Structure 1
């Protein structure tokens, strides 16, 4: 009551002075905490409220590259109300990726923004591809290449050609692949893209095609918006006009995606209840539903008591995580592979020779994992593209115990950001790091020879040699490492290798403008914005 009367008697000037006083206290506390922090590292000076966001110019990868050049291989930056230690040298990441030494570390602490975005769902994809036959390619009757071949080839057998945007195409292509392989359900995203190319429309209901197209775009929006919810406080997301509008758009896409996934999960649960003696579908969705239940072939009652069956929210998070990893990142990686192959014809010819030696080009072939595993040079190309232009820009770790990194003792709950773009081009561990050279990963297929370490820089001291050995091992971390290594890494390699065989083995792909720079946008991942190509049949 007393405070109420007090504020009633305040004038506008009094309110202004009160706000200014509170802000002054905030600034004093902010900088006191900053200047008394332990293990002071170089880095940009944070400002009140916006912290180090003023350094960001729209490209997260370039931000880390520029900060590395200015502050070195270990520095700090403050974003989202948290001090972040950025590691840009292979020797610093061993404790996070070594299976022997790394504890199970989450990627980040609790985030109110991430809880708001994903409704508390936490996913941990569990994909085991084994010795499978790669039968998850989308329905080929509406494959753009085959359709345009039919539309363009005349009665005289004149050679056809297609000009298209590979980035848009393969975002939908990989989306269909991951939907089929994780849920066993049909998707019509290729049909939606086909309708934009062809005057003859795919014979699917418009609602199915539109929903599939919206689903793909929604997945891309969720991935792009993760940084907004992870780094910005609730006040900014909810009340700053431009950011509030963007956040609301992302939440609408999220609600649409969640609604579709919930329907798929509910439908599959009903199917499993009906099917008693028949074999269940062999996909991630079914495995998630029956895990730790009596329908699970590995069922044990004691396990069920400790780890009860997953809820629909947990299953949805698993499927969504698989979509994130299997759609956007795979499509971007294959677009980057295409870009570099078109710029390095000698590499492309060597790749084609390997593909032709394993897969017959005069007949339709079945992509089998055992055959794909023989494509060592193709795999080397993928790894070199990922080295020189990684799709993921940062890997985060949040140790729950004290840890020593970079010669400093860090308390538990310190946020570390591992800068992949800089590590993959570190001049101390890679010879000519700016040069595209798949032979780094191919050299007679000898173990770890692909790292191409500058051995002449090694010193005689035993500790220096040991540090160099550690750096050599972790100078390429395409899928992370240790306990938290990417569970879908085998599937990702199978997808990209399959696309290389299927596209480059049958067709000649060229960039429409060889001089045009690669159009990318970098946030948590680097996305290909456009890749215009010309496609025609290979002359075998």
Structure 2
């Protein structure tokens, strides 16, 4: 009797699962989107369980080779497709019907709340409108000084290892520098991460980022209930880190708001510790913003400041580290970049750099863009389709999750001849217009493109040019093994050697 009941229950569940997704399956078949065999309830999870973050890129390449650039996929109860097709990517990124992020981004709400990265609908639109002025070129111009100062600290810290023999993993080095930069530009505070890497806020950011990356990749960690059951200490550590970060951010916001109100009451400019006019931070733009005439609450502001901190350190860390790695292994490109830097910035390594000068580093920009093609900081992004939508001539059913495979699209030989080669000249002015803008989307595109991409490019130019002014980069250490994560990393480190420049 017991076995009969179990059999009836399982049969009922199988039928329910089939009926639940029958319409989805028919519509995907009609659209010509195929994929690997899906099993009841678990979908393609068994296939993914056999993969590690180090091999999932290879799996995705194999699926594309077998099923085409649009691959039907199911993970537990979520159904949709992956795409590396620039035509489909253009349709998705250009449509107002497909700007909602998928459910995985919900893992970030504990830290980021409902900030710009994860918000949707009218809230997202209003926040985007408020934050856009924070990246006005006048504000960015002031930030260049921060980029230059913090990059100089990074170079100074590295001189002790500049023997041409020591292997340096650039990821943690660039991470501390990027953290100093984003804290000072977003919040207007110095956290001195490079000089004090054990500072509690710095450790909390690192712990939270690492734990969230693991949760994205491990299905057993995607639900708090499962985390509490199988990984209670990890969840406790994450919650403690988030609590510490929120406390720090709240204290900065409160202090900054009080200073701003005193300044407005006295009709006097904000001054720093040495009596100079205080540099505008992204936080100040938020403090002075309103929605329907009402100021943003401290919680509203904290969501966006935390989002700046989250998005603004790991992404640039990845791109700076991979660019240094590629320059170390492509000496001709490094020589061209270095000569341009000397021509534009001169030979005085201590001379401050201006925004105009960074803009003149055209070849270095090509180097960074080609690095982002091969190793995009964000290798994939997710969207959720809420209603039946026609995309690139294919009718996609409602409640579909879409994964845009940026890493794979940017290595498509149809759009990038010799895709595995590092060729910065792809992005030269002479070849402008040759690259399909939706085959190359390291900053996304459309309505939800990266709001801070100009900020990021200036930061990368400043930091990498500082490295090249001080050091020759050498091809030491293991080759990279890209790992799918919140951002692109390498399981073997992103390694270089350095020796002092003599000129």
Return the TM-score normalized by structure 2: 0.83
Q: Paired residue for 2:153?
A: 143
- Number of paired residues? 467
Deviation of 1:525 after TM superposition, in Å, equals: 2.3
Q: Do the aligned partners of 1:218 and 1:254 also contact (CA within 8 Å) in 2? A: no
Which SS does the other structure have where 2:73 is aligned?
Answer: strand
Q: 2:207 aligns with which of 206, 209, 218?
A: 218
2:333 to 329, 332, 347: 347
Q: CA deviation at 1:211?
A: 1.0
1:410 lines up with 2:387 in the alignment: no
Alignment of structure 1 residues 325-340 onto 2, 5 Å:
325-340=311-326
Residue by residue over 1:91-123, the C-alpha shift from the partner in whole angstroms, topping out at 9 and shown as x without a partner, is: 11222334xx64572222597655456455555
Decide whether the 8 Å contact of 1:92 with 1:406 is kept in 2.
yes
In structure 2, the residue corresponding to 1:404 is in which secondary structure?
strand
* Ranges in structure 1 where 5+ consecutive residues have no aligned partner: 1-12, 154-158, 194-208, 293-302, 452-471
The alpha carbon displacement at 1:45 in A equals 2.6
Give, in angstroms, the shift of residue 143 of structure 1.
2.8
State yes or no: 1:234 paired with 2:223.
Answer: yes
Match of 1:285 among 283, 286, 289: 283
Give the conservation status (yes or no) of the 8 Å contact 2:61–2:408: yes
For residues 227 and 122 of structure 1, what CA distance do their matches in structure 2 show?
19
- Asked whether the 8 Å contact 1:113–1:229 carries over to 2, the reply is no
8 Å CA contact retained: 2:187, 2:283: yes
Question: What SS class does the counterpart of residue 58 from structure 1 fall into?
Answer: coil
Residues 1:174 and 1:140: Cα distance change in structure 2 (over 3 Å):
closer
- Where in structure 2 are the equivalents of 1:144-223 lying within 5 Å? 145-147=155-157, 149=159, 164-193=168-197, 209-221=198-210, 223=212
**Structure 1 residue 223, shift from structure 2 partner:** 4.5
Q: Is 1:128 aligned with 2:135?
A: yes
Contact 1:129/1:490, CA 8 A, preserved across alignment: no
Say if 2:481 and 2:490, in contact at 8 Å, map to a contact too.
yes
SS in structure 1 of the partner of residue 348 of structure 2: coil
Q: Indicate if the aligned counterparts of 1:337 and 1:382 stay in contact, CA closer than 8 A.
A: yes
- The alpha-carbon distance between structure 1 residues 263 and 412, as it changes in their structure 2 partners (threshold 3 A), is same
> Which protein has the bigger helix share?
2
Instruction: Tell me the alpha carbon deviations over residues 432-487 of structure 1, each in whole angstroms, 9 at most, x when there is no partner.
Output: 1122111111153x5323x2xxxxxxxxxxxxxxxxxxxx3311112111221110
Which whole-Å CA distance do the structure 2 matches of 1:474 and 1:378 have between them?
A: 22
Deviation digits for residues 161-206 of structure 1 (CA, Å, limit 9, x no counterpart): 865332111110101001101111011210135xxxxxxxxxxxxx
Contact 2:384 2:399 in 1 (8 A): yes
- Structure 2 unaligned segments of length 5 or more: list them: 118-127, 271-277
1:68-109 Cα deviation digits (max 9, x unpaired): 1222111211125211221111111222334xx645722225
In structure 2, do the counterparts of structure 1 residues 343 and 235 end up closer, same or farther at CA, with 3 Å as the change threshold? closer
Equivalent residue, structure 2, for 1:62? 58
Q: Give the alignment's Cα RMSD to 1 decimal.
A: 3.1
CA contact (8 A) 2:112 2:307 kept: no
Contact between 1:90 and 1:423, CA under 8 Å: does it hold in 2?
Answer: yes
How far apart, in 2, do the equivalents of 1:366 and 1:140 lie? 12
Deviation string 1:27-47 (CA, Å, 9 cap, x unpaired) is 331233344422233112333
Shift of 1:221: 2.1
Within 1, Cα distance between the matches of 2:357 and 2:21?
Answer: 56
The aligned counterpart of 1:6 is: none
Aligned counterparts of 1:225 and 1:262: Cα–Cα separation in 2? 27
Q: Say if 1:28 and 1:248 are closer, same or farther in 2 by CA, change over 3 A.
A: farther
How do 1:353-432 and structure 2 match up within 5 A? 353-362=339-348, 364-432=350-418
Is 1:31 paired with 2:21?
A: no
Whole-angstrom distance in 2 between the partners of 1:165 and 1:499:
16
Query: Is the contact between residue 291 and residue 310 of structure 1 (CA under 8 Å) also seen in structure 2?
Result: yes
- Does residue 265 (structure 1) correspond to residue 253 (structure 2)? The answer is yes
| TM-score, with length taken from structure 1 | 0.78
